[in-house]
Structure 1
Amino acid sequence: MNGVELCVDTFGSPADPAILLIHGGSASMDHWEPEFCERLAAGPRYVIRYDHRDTGRSTTYEPGAPKYTGEDLVADPIGILDALKIDKAHLVGLSMGGAIVLQLAVEHPDRVASITVSSTSPSGPSDPDLPPPSEKLSASFSDDTPIDWSDTEAALDRLIADDRLYAGSLPYDEPARRALYAQAFARSINPASATNHWSVAPGGSIRHRLTEIAVPALVLHGTEDPLFPPAHGEALAREIPNARVVLLEGAGHEIPRPTWDTAIPEILTITSTN
């Protein structure tokens, strides 16, 4: 598919409306937790999650040498729908996954039934019209200390420390998050390759085309998102016709478990349309 192999996992019946979950940069399907997927599948929905290139069991390249572009990452969801013989799906994306969803809604509207974007910006963290990342998070960007991928526990310590930087004030369940990262680490062909996403050239901004989106749209956004403060989500909701914004109180750059009782019903509602 598109010249690569992507690892895909599904929940529910193919006879039900399809929801394709697209996570953020460097994130494998493990970041869409099974319980989250199962609760959506109980909707009933046919829920699909997958490993991006360079994550999990999908095609992986040497760290620092990705043989694909940002446009290829956008094309992959269409390839998945083709492989599963799904004409149209509801798309749910977080962070980079949200940016992919927006691009698909603009460029492939015939394949999109609705969109839900979370922790997403209309243009990115450096847009002068929108608030910048928090000072604490911005300071972390200059830390170029390499991760020792050969030492699993040390690598997990670093991943958890970075993960905390993106969390809000809701209780942080470190044992659960560590178990999630450990599972993702164990499933990965090469965990270090996930960093390739940050060196892939992004596509051009499509902010000027958001008004073209004609499908039902939901914006979920943490009130304490340190990368994209809430104004980014509110801007999306203004610029996408008829979009709704739902702020997740206390959440950061994430859809953490304490917000699922809000987020999951909202996703089921937006995906009830055809």
Structure 2
Amino acid sequence: MPVNGIEMCVETFGEPTEPPMLLLAGDASSMDWWDDEFCRRLAAGNRFVIRYDHRDTGRSTSYPAGAPDYSAADLMHDAVGVLDALRLPAAHLVGFSFGSALAQRIAVHYPSRVLSLALIAAAVDGPLAAPTPESPLVALGGPLPVSTSKIKVGVGTVEARLATEETDWSNRRSAVSRMIDEVRARGGPFTPGESQLRRLAERIFDRSADLAATRLNHQLAGYGPPIRDLLRTIETPTVVLHGTLDQRFPADHPEELARSIPGARLVWLDGVGHEFPPRAVWGQVLNEILAA
């Protein structure tokens, strides 16, 4: 679909006559991270579900690595632009990590476009150092930082191949292996097994124009000005969903976020790390999201 002068890949589930729900993926993440069956179950809850590829992800417009002609503000405007392209005046917003940061900004700057907020693995923002290729913006929920140690995953460990060597994102095997390692390293006991993650990572690789550009350009796009002091102006119903094992954003982040947004509810997801909701907690997550 044409959105804000670019082409964006958009997919919908359910009937257009139902209340719309827009899903916002994390930093450098395509729509594929929103599981197909998860989307279908949301649609079965009487929602018109919309997921899309951020620019520089999936099949949306791609830019040369290191030269993104956009900012974090543009990524926010893209989400609103998807609603415009579908001729939807407002929608329920569900964001994961960086996607939840975009959802917060839309609620602050475009309050009439938001019916409710579901913020998953979210953080309260603040001033951040300028990103560099060597120093990923960890606060955006994107790529893991460089590490040479073994990382605990549930009761086991996974060797951090995301470490000293540079990943060749143009190589399918190398890129898929890196994505699997990253998900497992930040997950928990309910994180999908390697075979399921491999299918997902292969799908992401096959749908992406340039994964190297994706990873770098979203870092360079930045985070945008902090809105911490504006969260109190949000009046839409809000639920904050956060994993008890999320090491990316410790407990003080969701707790402060829930305090900052009037009337927001904080719901803990036991045994969940910094990851898209695993199937084991779908019942709880779906109930909370659809309650608005």
The TM-score with structure 2 as length reference comes to: 0.85
1:28 aligned residue: 30
Is it true that 1:263 corresponds to 2:270 in the alignment? no
- Among candidates 188, 193, 202, match of residue 168 of structure 1: 188
Taking structure 1 as reference, are residues 75 and 144 closer, same or farther at Cα in structure 2, changes over 3 Å only? Answer: farther
Is it true that 1:244 corresponds to 2:265 in the alignment? yes
User: Aligned partners of 2:7, 2:167: CA distance in 1, in Å?
Assistant: 27
Is it true that 1:178 corresponds to 2:198 in the alignment? yes
1:198 aligned residue: 219
- Among candidates 92, 95, 102, match of residue 94 of structure 2: 92
Is it true that 1:235 corresponds to 2:256 in the alignment? yes
Taking structure 1 as reference, are residues 29 and 64 closer, same or farther at Cα in structure 2, changes over 3 Å only? Answer: same
User: Aligned partners of 1:144, 1:65: CA distance in 2, in Å?
Assistant: 25
Is it true that 1:148 corresponds to 2:137 in the alignment? no
Taking structure 1 as reference, are residues 159 and 171 closer, same or farther at Cα in structure 2, changes over 3 Å only? Answer: closer
Equivalent residues of 1:69, 1:200 under 8 A apart? yes
Taking structure 1 as reference, are residues 210 and 72 closer, same or farther at Cα in structure 2, changes over 3 Å only? Answer: same
RMSD: 2.0
> Could you give the per-residue CA deviations for residues 89-145 of structure 1, whole angstroms, max 9, x where no partner exists?
000000000000000000000110000101110116979xxxx99xxx666399463
User: Aligned partners of 1:122, 1:217: CA distance in 2, in Å?
Assistant: 14
User: Aligned partners of 1:144, 1:73: CA distance in 2, in Å?
Assistant: 31
Taking structure 1 as reference, are residues 180 and 242 closer, same or farther at Cα in structure 2, changes over 3 Å only? Answer: same
Alignment of 1:29-178 (within 5 A): 29-123=31-125, 140=147, 143=163, 145-178=165-198
User: Aligned partners of 2:109, 2:20: CA distance in 1, in Å?
Assistant: 19
Equivalent residues of 1:169, 1:224 under 8 A apart? no
User: Aligned partners of 2:74, 2:57: CA distance in 1, in Å?
Assistant: 15
Alignment of 1:211-226 (within 5 A): 211-226=232-247
Q: Offset of 1:230 from its aligned partner?
A: 2.3
User: Aligned partners of 1:52, 1:145: CA distance in 2, in Å?
Assistant: 27
Taking structure 1 as reference, are residues 236 and 217 closer, same or farther at Cα in structure 2, changes over 3 Å only? Answer: same
Moved more, 7-16 or 178-187: 178-187
Percent of residue pairs identical: 46
Taking structure 1 as reference, are residues 126 and 234 closer, same or farther at Cα in structure 2, changes over 3 Å only? Answer: farther
Taking structure 1 as reference, are residues 171 and 95 closer, same or farther at Cα in structure 2, changes over 3 Å only? Answer: closer
Indicate the SS of the match to 1:49: strand
Equivalent residues of 1:125, 1:227 under 8 A apart? no
User: Aligned partners of 2:104, 2:64: CA distance in 1, in Å?
Assistant: 29
User: Aligned partners of 2:164, 2:218: CA distance in 1, in Å?
Assistant: 16
Q: Offset of 1:32 from its aligned partner?
A: 0.5
Equivalent residues of 1:125, 1:228 under 8 A apart? no
Moved more, 250-259 or 28-37: 250-259
Indicate the SS of the match to 1:63: coil
Taking structure 1 as reference, are residues 191 and 261 closer, same or farther at Cα in structure 2, changes over 3 Å only? Answer: same
Equivalent residue letter for 1:258: A
User: Aligned partners of 1:93, 1:177: CA distance in 2, in Å?
Assistant: 21
Is it true that 1:209 corresponds to 2:211 in the alignment? no
Taking structure 1 as reference, are residues 169 and 231 closer, same or farther at Cα in structure 2, changes over 3 Å only? Answer: farther
Taking structure 1 as reference, are residues 5 and 176 closer, same or farther at Cα in structure 2, changes over 3 Å only? Answer: same
What stretches of structure 1 of length at least 5 have no aligned partner? none
Equivalent residues of 1:91, 1:113 under 8 A apart? yes
Equivalent residues of 2:146, 2:164 under 8 A apart? no
